[in-house]
C-alpha cells in the first residue's frame, strides 16, 4: 500500500468548503475522491491538512491517500487533473512514508488575506480579493498585529460552530504576521501551528478596524485578553482568504 501526498490548488468560490458534506453539497474533497474512484475503480479516502470554509481558496492545500497501485506518480497526477473540474488542480504529487498524515503531521500553515485598497473595484481579481475602498493605516495595523505573535488563547477570534469540538483548546502559536502592500493590494500573511474556526477572517476584520481608525492602539492585546468573541469585530469576507502553504 502506497501513501501518496498531493499539493492542491483550487478556486473556492463555487465550493461548500473542503470537507465532504452529508447533504451532497459540492466540496473539494468530494470532487477529488470522485476523480480517485474513476482512476482506481473503488472509493479512496482523501485526508486533508484541514478544512477550508465555503468560498476560501488554496494555492497549497495538502492531502494524502493510500492506494495499492503500480501506476507511476506522474501518471496519477495526470489522470487526476484530467478527471477534476477546472477549479481544482493537483500541482504536485509525491510518495511519502507510511506514517505521514496530511492533518496530523502538520507543523504550520500560512494563510493570506488579500485586500484591494483603492476607490475602484476590480473585475479580474474580484473572486480572490476583498474590495475595501477606504484609507488604511498600515503602520497601525502592523503595530497591532505584533500582539498576535507567540502562544496565546485565541478564543476571541474563534467563531462558534456546532459541528466542531468547542471543548478543544483554543490556544495556538502564531509564528508570524506580515502586512505588505503591492500596488493596490494589501496582503496579510499569518503563519501558525494551527487555526481556529474563522480565526484568520476574524483577525483581519479586527485589523481593518484598526486600519480605518475605529479601534485605538492596544485593541488587539485587549481583545486577546478578554477571550470573548463578542468583543471582536465582524469577520472579513471569505473570498479574500487563501491557504498558501502547509509545512511538514
Is 210:236 a contact under the CB 8 Å cutoff? no
Active site residue 193: no
Catalytic residue of the set 11, 53, 87, 153: 53
Is 14:28 a contact under the CB 8 Å cutoff? no
- Nearest-angstrom CA–CA distance, 248 and 246: 7
Task: Give residue 201's Cα distance to chain centre.
Answer: 10
Quick one: angle between helices 199-211 and 219-226, nearest 10? 150
Positions marked active-site: 53
Amino acid at each position: 500500500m502506497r501513501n501518496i501526498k498531493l499539493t492542491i490548488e483550487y478556486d473556492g468560490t463555487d465550493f461548500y468548503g473542503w470537507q465532504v458534506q452529508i447533504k451532497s453539497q459540492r466540496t473539494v474533497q468530494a470532487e477529488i475522491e470522485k476523480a480517485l474512484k474513476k482512476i482506481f475503480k473503488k472509493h479512496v479516502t482523501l485526508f486533508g491538512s484541514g478544512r477550508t470554509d465555503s468560498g476560501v481558496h488554496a494555492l497549497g492545500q495538502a492531502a494524502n491517500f493510500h492506494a495499492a497501485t503500480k501506476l507511476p506518480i506522474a501518471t496519477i497526477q495526470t489522470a487526476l487533473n484530467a478527471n477534476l473540474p477546472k477549479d481544482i488542480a493537483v500541482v504536485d504529487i509525491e510518495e511519502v512514508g507510511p506514517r505521514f498524515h496530511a492533518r496530523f503531521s502538520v507543523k504550520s500553515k500560512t494563510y493570506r488575506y488579500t485586500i484591494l485598497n483603492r476607490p475602484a473595484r476590480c473585475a479580474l481579481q474580484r473572486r480572490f480579493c476583498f474590495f475595501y475602498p477606504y484609507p488604511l493605516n498600515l503602520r497601525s495595523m502592523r503595530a497591532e498585529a505584533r500582539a498576535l505573535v507567540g502562544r496565546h488563547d485565541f478564543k476571541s477570534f474563534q467563531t462558534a460552530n456546532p459541528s466542531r469540538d468547542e471543548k478543544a483548546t483554543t490556544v495556538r502559536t502564531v509564528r508570524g504576521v506580515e502586512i505588505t502592500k503591492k500596488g493596490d493590494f494589501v496582503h496579510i500573511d499569518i503563519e501558525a501551528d494551527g487555526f481556529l474556526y474563522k480565526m484568520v477572517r476574524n483577525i483581519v476584520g479586527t485589523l481593518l478596524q484598526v486600519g480605518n481608525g475605529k479601534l485605538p492602539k492596544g485593541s488587539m492585546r485587549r481583545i486577546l485578553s478578554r477571550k470573548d468573541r463578542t468583543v471582536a469585530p465582524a469577520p472579513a469576507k471569505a473570498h479574500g482568504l487563501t491557504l498558501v502553504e502547509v509545512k511538514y
